[in-house]
Amino acid sequence: QVQLVQSGAEVKKPGASVKVSCKASGYTFTTSYMHWVRQAPGQGLEWMGIINLSGGTTNYAQTFQGRVAMTRDTSTSTVHMELSSLKSEDTAVYYCARDTSGAIPGDHWGQGTQVTVSS
Amino acid sequence: QTVVTQEPSLTVSPGGTVILTCASSTGVVTSGYYPNWFQQKPGQAPRALIYSTTNKHSWTPARFSGSLLGGKAALTLSAVQPEDEAEYYCLLYYDGAWVFGGGTKLTVL
């Protein structure tokens, strides 16, 4: 069965970077896309970007342009999301979510990774 | 900056019907926005319900349906069950990027 398993919680200082990983299993990795979505405490969902797992092309939300990088490692079926220049407002749960066609986002989700930014 | 707007909260009685809507600041929502709907319960990851306006996932209960209504995307819940109490989010596509609505907190009372 499809599984997306994310890396563990992180605590970072303002100005630092964080890299969250999402390991996929149970399907052919390169036939899909992966979205990254975050949710700040008590807030709604925020779309961050998408990566095509076949060619590695990305599309990021304007809010995160220049500060986010999504990459994939096809040898380990793992997707990474790195967010730099962290601020306290980046404290959130970060989710990866699979998309099988580029237009059917989130049929499967990772369990979420808590990222806390605090001095 | 594109804004997607949902009702902040709605209340429905068990067995009743409720319609949640999803509007775009750019104008009329069409099928070209590929409206998606998600359900999220406290402490859980979101769960996909509807994709591309009307299509259900294999796990989506029959009482959930998606449509376009009055220039917006809509999610209709019929014969509402207590377990449908949750936050509901729509997601719209804008030329390579996606934007979530602010969410609707549905109370079943």
For B30-43, the pLDDT digits (tens) are 999 999 999 999 99
Among A62, A103, A111, beta carbon nearest to B93: A103
**A59 to chain B, minimum CA–CA distance in Å?**
7
What's the confidence (pLDDT) of residue A103?
A: 86
What's the confidence (pLDDT) of residue A102?
A: 84
Average pLDDT, chain B: 97
What's the confidence (pLDDT) of residue B102?
A: 98
At B17, the amino acid letter reads: T
Q: Is B51 in contact with A95 (Cβ distance < 8 A)?
A: no
| Side-chain half-sphere CA neighbours of A37 within 13 A | 31
Residues of B with CB below 8 A from A107's CB? 48, 51, 57
pLDDT < 50: residue spans in chain A: none
B14 — alpha (psi -120 to 50), left (phi > 0) or beta? beta
Query: Is B58 an 8 Å CB contact of chain A?
Result: no
Find the residue in B nearest to A94 (Cα).
B45
What distance in Å separates the CA atoms of residue B86 and residue B100, rounded to the nearest whole number? 16
**A53 to chain B, minimum CA–CA distance in Å?**
15
A49 — alpha (psi -120 to 50), left (phi > 0) or beta? left
Among B34, B57, B103, beta carbon nearest to A44: B103
B56-91 pLDDT, tens per residue?
999 999 999 999 999 999 999 999 999 999 999 999
What's the confidence (pLDDT) of residue A2?
A: 96
What's the confidence (pLDDT) of residue A42?
A: 96
